[in-house]
Structure 1
Amino acid sequence: MKLTRLVTVVALLLLSLCPAIHAAEARPNFLIIVADDLCWRDLGYEGNKEVKTPNLDKLCAESMHLTGMFNPATTCSPTRHSLYTGLYPIRSGAYPNHTRVYDGTRSLFTHLKDAGYRVALQNKEHVGPPESFPYQHIPGADDLTETRAFVTRDASQPWFMVYASNDPHSPWDRGTPADPAKITIPPYLHDNLQTRKQLAKYYGEIGKLDSQVGALLDLLEQTSQTKNMLVLFVSEQGSSFPYGGKWSVYDNGIRASALVRWPGKVAPGSTSPALMQYVDVAPTFLAAAGIDPEKIDVKCPDAAGASGFDGRSFLKILADGGEAFRSHIFAQHTTLGSYGAKEPYPMRAVRDTRYKFIRNLAPDNTFWIQGIHESQPFISWQKNAANKPDPALAARVKWLSHRPAEELYDLQNDLYETKNLAADPELATIKATLGTQLDAWMKQQDDQGMVAENKAKTRSTKMGKGEGD
């Protein structure tokens, strides 16, 4: 009788534990792969057939392609802070380049670690302070020895890792360059020999990134990690070419290439055009882990005192590939804090599915930073504009330093944002509507424009290795 009762008690105890056991088993592992200074257009699966990205093309075929993903900033550090915290840059305090969030702010690393995950970040960090990002740091991008040890450490514990490459960040001295004579120059770049040489090296370094992604994904296959694992690839912000996107709020800079692979949960080869932002990633990952993101306190309140995420979960989009998520996306650029910044030149932008409205808050100043204006190929563009009667090139060179207070673009008919329609009376209502949305966002973020720009240096930190502009 006693033995029977003991067996019964043990059986009941095991049954009571089953839901918890199943819940733990159901929690996915998470991997975010972050490129470095990669324009979303410059990938094979995005349509650039001159860039060889077989591993990322394969990942795309296995994933949902999120064609409406946008980042909220145009330099590495604020972009990464937003990705990991679910907060826009001004609100979190991480808005110039080489920056940090306000003390006490919590990140996805914090939330998942509190939920029992082990967490790591490999290679490029560029976030701080460490208390807000409590990950194990794995140095280097090419050696996966510690990566293997991390992902296989304890099969009973779920894990979250960010793999942050340094490629294809300039100076583009890794990988196998393309043939400068055979590449096609994108319409937003001036075609000369210097541009061709630089672009060929940049394309080669994208190939280096692709080989790293292939090696990483092979490791996960070899270690049987892929069955219940959500992989997100993002291209970060645009390249450092003039008009390549970095340091600007044009789509080359704020639109991101994004792929999500999650076997059994996300349809391979699917696509969603829904507008979404990096701030939506942290809530989505938490929801996928069975954690209600609406109950999370990020410890960094907005202007109204709310302490939840700026983003929200797009799990439903991943499940059904829907087209509607956000009606608008927002972005900002802070010039001060970047190398060679001569004067404040802050930018704010709002975009819907067709139109983008930009405010340049100090249009009488000169936009001038080392990464564009004191580097190739821009120096060669200046010489060409001065030595040849090319009014169009001269105008583009001038535009890179001087822009009007307002810009409005019809992205359906002007993919590269070259025709400013801000003064078009037929679009006055559209401009006003977008301006109202931008005002509301800035108010929620406690973004006081030039006040924030002039305080940027107080939010700056020293760089780590591999974290240049």
Structure 2
Amino acid sequence: MKMFLKISISFLLAILFLSCIASSSQKKKNGDKKPNLIFYLADDQDVYDYGCYGNEKVKTPAVDRLAKEGMLFQNAFTGQAICAPSRSQLLTGKYPLKNGCFANHTSVKPDIQSMVRHMQKLGYEVVLAGKSHVNPSKVFPWDKEWHAIEKEDGPRPYIPLDSIENYFNTAKKPFVMLIASYYPHAEYFKVDNPKAEDIKTYPFNSVKKDDKGFIKSKAGYYRSIEEDNKQLEDVLNLVDLHLDTDNTLFIYSADHGVSGKFDVKDVSLKVPFVVRWPKIIRPDTKSSQLIHYTDVLPTFIDIAGGHATDEMDGKSFLPLLKGEDVAINEYVYGVRTNQNILNSEIFPSRMIRNKRYKYIRNFNSIEVVEQNLTGKPNVDYFIKRGANAFKDEPFEELYDLQNDPFEQHNLAKNPEYKTIKEKLAEDMFIWMKDQGDILNEDQGNMPIITPKGNKGFKLDQDTPRRKIPDSIKNTLKKGDYIVIEHW
């Protein structure tokens, strides 16, 4: 009997020991597993319109929850305030001029390797759920792609939650998932009897605070923000239910602002950027370091154990996520292209910004338009038209963002800031040259751009938003413009 007890105890201890080894091995295996990477992207929403960014009049509890559980970035930027160029930066690690998509509804260069290819090489599946707006397809060969879902009760399509949930349940490999919402982008919900006191205004739009049309539009916009927030909440619930949240990096952002769409002010280029990654990111933290959409791909590559390529503009901000308060970028940059989109006015701008100062050059300002004229009446018509469309915007702008965060006081002609302005301008032109920009420092350089073939973007043709005098229609000839071949 004693012998039996000794054998039984020894046997149980052996089982317990092996179980501990197996458990330890499994934990190690799970710990070694590459994290899932989810990026939720809203559409056309100002950074100022979130509870966690200071707007108490709009309801964003899901984004606010992420901020409490993770890190909120106070200085995150896109390089262009329009849909396709903003998303193309995010997915290539390159600014608009370098990746080739610097006008809306255009494509990146066909020889670029996007996030899809880079992350596939590192063992990831790369999935798109919702809005795309990036081309060509051979540069973005998603492993899986699900389109948005049309519903009768909303003005915009909805993200495909059923497909997302099914994938969370069946994924066999680590994955990158871009969840791209169509909200809050107009058309907005209709709100009955909106009240001015329910809308928060800022220095850049305070003159409209009593405008009924503005209040009605903003009320619908707020309601659309709330609808997107519900979608985000649903996604977060699915993540928490089906995935290992400790091993899932979740980023929320919006592609650019709506109040200054197309331009290069902070209301346009500064984006919300909130990151949750339990056990890596300390909860309820903030970072004021400059980061940029071009930094996202290098960061994902870094997390996956790879190395970003030298031609990428972005840098990994993984150290910030780990709690190191280190500078990632000295500058961020911005691009404005009004040609070949919507009203197609020739009014290009470039911007350079550090943590305190911003410099903008509007290359076809009314101040310098005479120097940009070519002597060809048909070409000069469009150059003058562009300058007159933005006649209140000066050739140079300089802002002290520490004391003037909403860019209301232009210091470009203030002699006390001459050295700062010249340094920023010099560094901006160095960057532009590196990007292969179509613009340069020389006065009189005002190129007209057009896509290869006739894609409805021709300056000398009518569009639904632009009417051209009959005497000017179809007068632009080869040699009057630069053809962007990959568009």
- Give the aligned partner of residue 425 of structure 1: 415
Structure 2 CA distance for aligned equivalents of residues 323 and 102 of structure 1: 33
Q: Once the 2 structures are TM-superposed, how far is the Cα of residue 89 of structure 1 from its aligned partner?
A: 0.5
Counterparts in 2 of 1:461 and 1:113: CA distance versus 1, 3 Å: farther
- State yes or no: 1:138 paired with 2:140: no
- State yes or no: 1:409 paired with 2:399: yes
- Give the aligned partner of residue 308 of structure 1: 311
- State yes or no: 1:287 paired with 2:302: yes
Q: In structure 2, which of residues 350, 353, 356 is the aligned counterpart of residue 351 of structure 1? A: 353
Contact 2:368–2:395, Cα closer than 8 Å, also in 1: no
User: Mind listing any 5+ residue stretches in structure 1 that lack a counterpart?
Assistant: 1-17, 297-306, 368-397
User: Mind listing any 5+ residue stretches in structure 2 that lack a counterpart?
Assistant: 1-24, 149-157, 370-387, 458-463, 466-487
Q: In structure 2, which of residues 426, 449, 452 is the aligned counterpart of residue 455 of structure 1? A: 449
SS at match of 1:166: strand
Q: Once the 2 structures are TM-superposed, how far is the Cα of residue 193 of structure 1 from its aligned partner?
A: 1.2
Q: Once the 2 structures are TM-superposed, how far is the Cα of residue 364 of structure 1 from its aligned partner?
A: 2.8
Contact 1:35–1:236, Cα closer than 8 Å, also in 2: yes
Q: Once the 2 structures are TM-superposed, how far is the Cα of residue 254 of structure 1 from its aligned partner?
A: 0.7
The residue identity in structure 2 corresponding to 1:435 is: A
Q: In structure 1, which of residues 91, 99, 102 is the aligned counterpart of residue 109 of structure 2? A: 102
Counterparts in 2 of 1:222 and 1:174: CA distance versus 1, 3 Å: farther
Runs of 4+ displaced beyond 3 Å: 21-25, 174-182, 398-402, 450-453, 456-463
SS at match of 2:184: coil
Where do 1:34-53 residues align within 5 Å? Answer: 34-53=41-60
Structure 2 CA distance for aligned equivalents of residues 461 and 57 of structure 1: 42
Q: Once the 2 structures are TM-superposed, how far is the Cα of residue 323 of structure 1 from its aligned partner?
A: 4.7
Query: Does 1 or 2 have the higher relative contact order (CA < 8 Å, sep 6+)?
Result: 1
Counterparts in 2 of 1:44 and 1:328: CA distance versus 1, 3 Å: same
- Give the aligned partner of residue 484 of structure 2: none
Counterparts in 2 of 1:327 and 1:49: CA distance versus 1, 3 Å: same
Q: Once the 2 structures are TM-superposed, how far is the Cα of residue 321 of structure 1 from its aligned partner?
A: 4.3
Where do 1:151-190 residues align within 5 Å? Answer: 151-154=168-171, 156-173=172-189, 179-189=195-205, 190=207
Contact 2:316–2:328, Cα closer than 8 Å, also in 1: no
The residue identity in structure 1 corresponding to 2:232 is: V
Q: Once the 2 structures are TM-superposed, how far is the Cα of residue 175 of structure 1 from its aligned partner?
A: 8.6
Where do 1:84-233 residues align within 5 Å? Answer: 84-135=91-142, 136-140=144-148, 141-154=158-171, 156-173=172-189, 179-189=195-205, 190-191=207-208, 192-233=211-252
Q: Write out per-residue CA displacement over residues 6-29 of structure 1, whole angstroms, 9 at most, x where no aligned residue.
A: xxxxxxxxxxxx99x949943110
SS at match of 1:205: helix
Structure 2 CA distance for aligned equivalents of residues 120 and 456 of structure 1: 32
Counterparts in 2 of 1:401 and 1:445: CA distance versus 1, 3 Å: same
- Give the aligned partner of residue 284 of structure 2: 269
Structure 2 CA distance for aligned equivalents of residues 361 and 121 of structure 1: 37
- Give the aligned partner of residue 82 of structure 1: 89
Contact 2:350–2:362, Cα closer than 8 Å, also in 1: yes
Aligned residue pair count? 401
Q: Once the 2 structures are TM-superposed, how far is the Cα of residue 180 of structure 1 from its aligned partner?
A: 4.1
The residue identity in structure 2 corresponding to 1:286 is: I
Contact 1:96–1:334, Cα closer than 8 Å, also in 2: yes
Contact 1:76–1:97, Cα closer than 8 Å, also in 2: yes
Q: Once the 2 structures are TM-superposed, how far is the Cα of residue 233 of structure 1 from its aligned partner?
A: 1.0
Q: In structure 2, which of residues 311, 320, 339 is the aligned counterpart of residue 336 of structure 1? A: 339
Contact 2:159–2:179, Cα closer than 8 Å, also in 1: no
Q: Once the 2 structures are TM-superposed, how far is the Cα of residue 179 of structure 1 from its aligned partner?
A: 3.9
Counterparts in 2 of 1:230 and 1:182: CA distance versus 1, 3 Å: closer
The residue identity in structure 2 corresponding to 1:431 is: K
Please give the TM-score of this superposition, normalised by the length of structure 2.
Answer: 0.77
Q: Once the 2 structures are TM-superposed, how far is the Cα of residue 399 of structure 1 from its aligned partner?
A: 9.2
Q: Which moved more, 1:272-281 or 1:399-408?
A: 399-408
Structure 2 CA distance for aligned equivalents of residues 403 and 459 of structure 1: 33
Counterparts in 2 of 1:459 and 1:201: CA distance versus 1, 3 Å: farther
The residue identity in structure 1 corresponding to 2:366 is: D
SS at match of 2:220: helix
Structure 2 CA distance for aligned equivalents of residues 88 and 174 of structure 1: 36
Structure 2 CA distance for aligned equivalents of residues 365 and 453 of structure 1: 18
Please give the TM-score of this superposition, normalised by the length of structure 1.
Answer: 0.80
Counterparts in 2 of 1:458 and 1:237: CA distance versus 1, 3 Å: farther
The residue identity in structure 1 corresponding to 2:133 is: H
Q: Once the 2 structures are TM-superposed, how far is the Cα of residue 220 of structure 1 from its aligned partner?
A: 1.1
- Give the aligned partner of residue 7 of structure 1: none
Counterparts in 2 of 1:279 and 1:458: CA distance versus 1, 3 Å: farther
SS at match of 1:217: helix
Contact 1:174–1:205, Cα closer than 8 Å, also in 2: no
Contact 1:92–1:102, Cα closer than 8 Å, also in 2: yes
Q: Once the 2 structures are TM-superposed, how far is the Cα of residue 151 of structure 1 from its aligned partner?
A: 2.3
Where do 1:324-403 residues align within 5 Å? Answer: 324-341=327-344, 343-364=345-366, 401-403=391-393
Structure 1 CA distance for aligned equivalents of residues 66 and 268 of structure 2: 23
Q: Once the 2 structures are TM-superposed, how far is the Cα of residue 186 of structure 1 from its aligned partner?
A: 2.5
Q: Once the 2 structures are TM-superposed, how far is the Cα of residue 148 of structure 1 from its aligned partner?
A: 1.4
Counterparts in 2 of 1:176 and 1:207: CA distance versus 1, 3 Å: farther
Contact 2:253–2:273, Cα closer than 8 Å, also in 1: yes
Q: Once the 2 structures are TM-superposed, how far is the Cα of residue 182 of structure 1 from its aligned partner?
A: 3.2
Structure 1 CA distance for aligned equivalents of residues 447 and 115 of structure 2: 27
Contact 2:47–2:271, Cα closer than 8 Å, also in 1: yes
Q: Which moved more, 1:168-177 or 1:266-275?
A: 168-177
Contact 1:82–1:278, Cα closer than 8 Å, also in 2: yes
Structure 2 CA distance for aligned equivalents of residues 165 and 176 of structure 1: 25
Q: Once the 2 structures are TM-superposed, how far is the Cα of residue 48 of structure 1 from its aligned partner?
A: 0.2
- Give the aligned partner of residue 437 of structure 1: 427
Contact 2:352–2:428, Cα closer than 8 Å, also in 1: yes
Structure 1 CA distance for aligned equivalents of residues 73 and 57 of structure 2: 22
